[in-house]
Structure 1
Amino acid sequence: MSPIIRRDRWVSLAAVGLVAALSVTACGSGGSSKKDSAAASGATAQDNTTLFHDIYKELVNTDTSHSTGSTTIAANAVKKRLLDAGFADSDIQIFEPVPRKGNLVLRFTGSGQRKPLLLMAHLDVVEAKRADGWQTDPYQLTEQDGFYVARGSVDDKAMAAAWVANLILLKRQGFRPTRDIVLALTADEEAGDNDGAQWLLANKPDLMAAEYGLNEGGDSILVDGKPAMQAVQVAEKIYAVYTVEAKSKGGHSSVPTPDNAIYSLTAALNRLAAYRFPASVSPATRDYFSGLAAKHTGQLADDLRAAAAGNPSPDVLDRLSADPVYNAQLRTTCVATMLKAGEAENALPQSAQATVNCRILPQEDPADIERQLRATLADNALTVTPDVQAAGGISPVDGDVLTAVTALTKEMFPTSAVSTVMSTGATDSSYARAKGIPMYGISGLYMETSDSERQHGVNERAPIAGLDTSRDFLYRLLEQLCG
């Protein structure tokens, strides 16, 4: 997962009054009463703990990094557990586009009264080395001071284990959902050659088709030990990479010429550094700024309210854009991230190449962004080669998912507000949204900001008590959405 970028994490995900008092009917096996369903949920939380921890430990202890690991091994381990729980072999498929990059897809067949629900989680993890400062072996789950420490302990094996454990428990209870539930545990979210969710959605679209889906990408934030914010990801920026290249004749460095590929490229990049793409405020971002305004005072609160209204003045935009976090929410950004130039220290360069990484607002047209980029570079001699991820758009900010999440959050985490949010980073949800499947990033795993920021870094860790509560939250969310 590429996390939401923020300066003051819990404040930036402040609440908006999405849905206040909402009633959601939980579904059970063939029309059980609310009282019976509630009793079943209580038993579920207790009975599922050991199963969940066993699956979680097995996944975390399996190296699924891009360089040395295998998601195929993890996928086969999950398949065995599903078969042991009573799922038919025909319900489970493992797709391995390339060696070591296995993806598991399970179909939990329902009554077909509603379109399927897609559950996603990725099995691969960011690379980790003990020598980088890890206190423990990053590929062995270690209990330490009330936390589980390991690579993938949060991102994203906590969610993967929760989905698997919850579906196994529902199966054992004889639960019959009113819709098919499709679980996709994927490779290549963190690194690789797109042999995970993108491959599945491109090559197995009928298998992955759903009314909407749930995935990582949301944030559940603790402040002073209390749940403060449940942020539901409804959008993310479009990931785009542009290779910008300048060429020149070269020659001996003792006889410089005006035609120099490095100078041409540098001048173009300096123009890009000074350019600011126009601001655009989406519904998800308005919610974000509305919540922020409630947590601040003075000029900043006024500016945030103006942004939340959807049409901020140039002065408001200038003040907010001075903060990189707000700037990334307000507009598309393009930044040079890599350079390669020259052939020898005593030769004039024949070529100079830069990688420009853009994060495009979901409501904008990537083709228009490319036109602005080319115009800003302002050098017809430059070659610009685009590689743009498919646009995903914005999931509806009302409907079943947000209704259920809001109601469950108020019940289980009464001190927590709920808000929608746009990620400035990227998750596999973008590929599903691009195929017309609304996706919602949701966690229920409440953590302090300092712990959330360990993801992709050293000593990634998950609060043990929070894991159990998150798994129960996701179990109950499945109940809500399947009937």
Structure 2
Amino acid sequence: MIRRFHVPLLALALSVTAAQTLAADAPALRPDQVQFRALYKELVETNTTLSSGSCTLAAQRMAARLKAAGFADKEVTLFTAPDHPKEGGLVAVLPGKSATAKPMLLLAHLDVVEAKREDWTRDPFTLVEENGYFYARGAADDKSMAAIWTDMLARFRQNHYQPNRTIKMALTCGEETTWAFNGAQWLTKNRPDLISAEFALNEGGGGDADAKGKLIDQTMQVGEKVSQNFRIETTNAGGHSSIPIRDNAIYELSDAIHAVRDYEFPVQMTDVTRTFFAKVGASRNDDMGRAMMALAKNPTDKAAEAIVNTDRTYHSMLRTTCVATLLEGGHANNALPQRAAANINCRIFPGNTVDATQAALTKAINDPKAKITPVPPIRPVAVPPPLDAKVMGPAEQLSAKYFPGVPVIPTMSTGATDGLFLEAAGIPTYGVPGLWGGPDGDGVHGLNERIWVKSLYVGRDYLTDLVKAYAETM
């Protein structure tokens, strides 16, 4: 996953008079926070990169934590695929009291993006607390959430808390690498009984703060795009470069790429994005805000669209997008190319199929010599969960308690998470508020990844109360 791709809502800071600066040094830790920090440290310092790490080991360590807290063997399931021994995961079940209330599922991924020690200021696999931040690969994405979920279930069992509805947790591998084994997808296909649930809570939401740590908003991710790659390939007979001709595979590929660049997918909206543009637009007293509200009312308003499109994030929220990301071509400096190819990465708007997106690209390129094929894995159609008051209500009520004056905004992610696989299996999945990050991305997927210490501890408390609210009242 992705970094939580939040929409820039800095304009809301002007209207949030009660927002507090939240990057200040945290007070002395409570005993439960000391225990949580130890669990978080163990998980972060377990290397789970695809190249040299092991999600299986991380899952085993978290399972040991749960069993030490009192979980029975039958309540904790470790799983691996035979051909992916280091990409295993964990499912844990805390039984509820109700025989009729359907379970809820807590999802997080254990794997992290690659990190080279020589590039980092600090060892990426040693948790460092410094200047109000935790630094390490996975400190935010997504071991913060995986640690919070695991610690939460352990505390629930230790405190003899039995929820009304059963709470399940799945810690999986493969979210960060498109072509790798994906544990969430494997569970939906091979052990759907383990994770069956009425709904799931996942990464993808969270808050935005300014550079000083002033919290501006919290977001609830309600829906996401599908990430799907396509390969455009052109071929011909080639020949000697001393006698060039126009029939050149690289030139043909270049024309196709230009066609992709110039093609604009049409505007689309869901209930979530319409609510988002209306709500955020109303908070702004500028041309952008007025255009956002106008477009929410009438998605065919071209004048409003032109203004909204000037913001690259808003532009992406309105449509499917496709962009060239990789190139290859030719075989010798002194030879005409026999083959050229490009990877086109598309982020497909919910409800649209891979086939329909391929057809749109084919029409835009309009060249029978350019072969367009989807690159495995082929992702399922994104099915947005409902914008449900039963989901938004508790999140908003708790936000008023923990973050007075800070709004909770429903949003659709322009990125992608493993929630895609759960939604395709009929489990509506929501990216929850609680944690927050800064405007520079906090090094997620890059160098010196970090999370505010206060964000982690306060977000943990918020999420504990949120899970209890859903477990008891929905």
The normalised TM-score by structure 1 is 0.89
- Match for residue 79 of structure 1 among 45, 63, 83: 63
Select between 292-301 and 320-329 the one with higher mean Cα deviation.
Answer: 292-301
Q: 1:287 to 1:12 in 2, by over 3 A?
A: farther
1:49 equivalent in alignment to 2:36 = no
What does 1:31-430 correspond to in 2, within 5 Å? 46-97=30-81, 98-111=84-97, 112-132=99-119, 134-191=120-177, 193-223=180-210, 224-387=212-375, 388-430=378-420
CA shift for structure 1 position 3: 3.0
1:469 equivalent in alignment to 2:441 = no
The unaligned stretches of length 5 or more in structure 2 are: 17-28
CA shift for structure 1 position 48: 2.3
> Aligned equivalents of 1:468 and 1:251: distance in 2?
64
Alpha-carbon contact 2:12-2:217 (below 8 Å) kept: no
> Aligned equivalents of 1:386 and 1:343: distance in 2?
24
CA shift for structure 1 position 316: 1.4
Q: 1:146 to 1:298 in 2, by over 3 A?
A: closer
Q: Which residue of 1 aligns with 2:471?
A: 482
Alpha-carbon contact 1:444-1:474 (below 8 Å) kept: yes
> Aligned equivalents of 2:215 and 2:180: distance in 1?
37
Alpha-carbon contact 2:281-2:289 (below 8 Å) kept: yes
Select between 339-348 and 187-196 the one with higher mean Cα deviation.
Answer: 187-196
- Residue 355 of structure 2 aligns to a residue whose secondary structure is helix
> Aligned equivalents of 1:250 and 1:470: distance in 2?
59
Q: Which residue of 1 aligns with 2:25?
A: none
> Aligned equivalents of 1:4 and 1:75: distance in 2?
23
> Aligned equivalents of 1:70 and 1:256: distance in 2?
51
Matched to 2:43, the amino acid is L
The unaligned stretches of length 5 or more in structure 1 are: 17-44
Alpha-carbon contact 2:4-2:203 (below 8 Å) kept: no
CA shift for structure 1 position 257: 2.9
> Aligned equivalents of 1:91 and 1:79: distance in 2?
10
CA shift for structure 1 position 51: 1.8
- Residue 326 of structure 2 aligns to a residue whose secondary structure is strand
> Aligned equivalents of 2:12 and 2:239: distance in 1?
53
CA shift for structure 1 position 115: 0.8
Question: Identity of counterpart residues, as a percentage?
Answer: 39
CA shift for structure 1 position 290: 2.1
CA shift for structure 1 position 259: 2.2
Q: 1:310 to 1:407 in 2, by over 3 A?
A: farther
Matched to 1:270, the amino acid is H
- Residue 381 of structure 1 aligns to a residue whose secondary structure is coil
> Aligned equivalents of 1:6 and 1:90: distance in 2?
39
> Aligned equivalents of 2:80 and 2:168: distance in 1?
18
**Could you report, residue by residue, the CA deviation over 1:355-413 in whole angstroms, capped at 9, with x for unpaired residues?**
11111111334332221111011111222111431122211111432121111111221
> Aligned equivalents of 2:176 and 2:13: distance in 1?
24
Select between 340-349 and 304-313 the one with higher mean Cα deviation.
Answer: 304-313
Q: How many residues align?
A: 453
> Aligned equivalents of 2:12 and 2:360: distance in 1?
29
Select between 253-262 and 263-272 the one with higher mean Cα deviation.
Answer: 253-262
1:459 equivalent in alignment to 2:445 = no
Matched to 1:421, the amino acid is T
> Aligned equivalents of 1:465 and 1:327: distance in 2?
32
Q: 1:181 to 1:310 in 2, by over 3 A?
A: farther
What is the RMSD of the two structures over their aligned residues, measured on CA atoms?
2.1
- Residue 427 of structure 1 aligns to a residue whose secondary structure is coil
Alpha-carbon contact 1:13-1:288 (below 8 Å) kept: no
- Residue 443 of structure 2 aligns to a residue whose secondary structure is coil
- Residue 101 of structure 1 aligns to a residue whose secondary structure is strand
- Residue 178 of structure 1 aligns to a residue whose secondary structure is coil
1:437 equivalent in alignment to 2:427 = yes
- Residue 367 of structure 1 aligns to a residue whose secondary structure is helix
> Aligned equivalents of 1:119 and 1:457: distance in 2?
26
> Aligned equivalents of 1:467 and 1:7: distance in 2?
21
Alpha-carbon contact 1:220-1:446 (below 8 Å) kept: yes
Alpha-carbon contact 2:5-2:204 (below 8 Å) kept: no
CA shift for structure 1 position 269: 1.4
The normalised TM-score by structure 2 is 0.91
Matched to 1:204, the amino acid is R
Q: 1:338 to 1:149 in 2, by over 3 A?
A: same
- Residue 180 of structure 2 aligns to a residue whose secondary structure is coil
Matched to 1:62, the amino acid is T
- Residue 105 of structure 1 aligns to a residue whose secondary structure is strand
Matched to 1:263, the amino acid is Y
Matched to 2:332, the amino acid is A
> Aligned equivalents of 2:146 and 2:433: distance in 1?
11
> Aligned equivalents of 1:14 and 1:2: distance in 2?
29
CA shift for structure 1 position 153: 0.8
> Aligned equivalents of 2:15 and 2:273: distance in 1?
12
> Aligned equivalents of 2:198 and 2:399: distance in 1?
23
Alpha-carbon contact 1:392-1:432 (below 8 Å) kept: no
Alpha-carbon contact 2:9-2:280 (below 8 Å) kept: no
